[in-house]
Amino acid sequence: MQICRVVGTVVSTNKTEKLSGMKLLLVRAIDLDSFKETGPLLVSVDTVGAGTGEVVMTVSGSSSRQTNATDGKPVDNSIVAIIDHIDVSGARIFDKAQVGGSE
C-alpha cells in the first residue's frame, strides 16, 4: 500500500469495455518524512469517490483487482481509501479536517 495525493484526472472516451464507467485519477506518492509528493505520476482507478487534492491509499498489482469495482478488470493501481489523518510516532503529520483535504 502507498500513501498518495490525487493530482489530476484522466479522461478516455475509447477504452476496453471492462474499464467503462470507471473514474481514472492521476496520483503521486507522498514521502511521509517531508509530506511532499515524490516519484512518477500513476494512473489509478478510483473505487472510493476520491477527488483532486485528496490524500489517498493506493494498492498496486494483483491487490488492485481485489475490490468489488475492479474484480476481473485490467487494473494495476487502485485507490482504496481516502485518508482522514496520519499519525507517526505519536505526532499527527496529516489531518484532512485541518487542511481541507489538501496540503
Question: Tell me: the pLDDT tens digits for 1-27?
Answer: 999 999 999 999 999 999 999 999 999
The rounded distance, in Å, linking the Cα atoms of 14 and 62 is 24
The rounded distance, in Å, linking the Cα atoms of 26 and 5 is 8
Question: Tell me: the pLDDT tens digits for 39-95?
Answer: 999 999 999 999 999 999 999 988 889 888 888 899 999 999 999 999 999 999 999
**Exposed (0-12), middle (13-18) or buried (19+): which is 103, by Cβ within 10 Å?**
middle
33: left (phi over 0), alpha (psi -120 to 50) or beta: alpha
In this predicted structure, what is the pLDDT of residue 69? Answer: 86
The pTM of this model reads 0.89
Residue 102: pLDDT over 80: no
In this predicted structure, what is the pLDDT of residue 66? Answer: 82
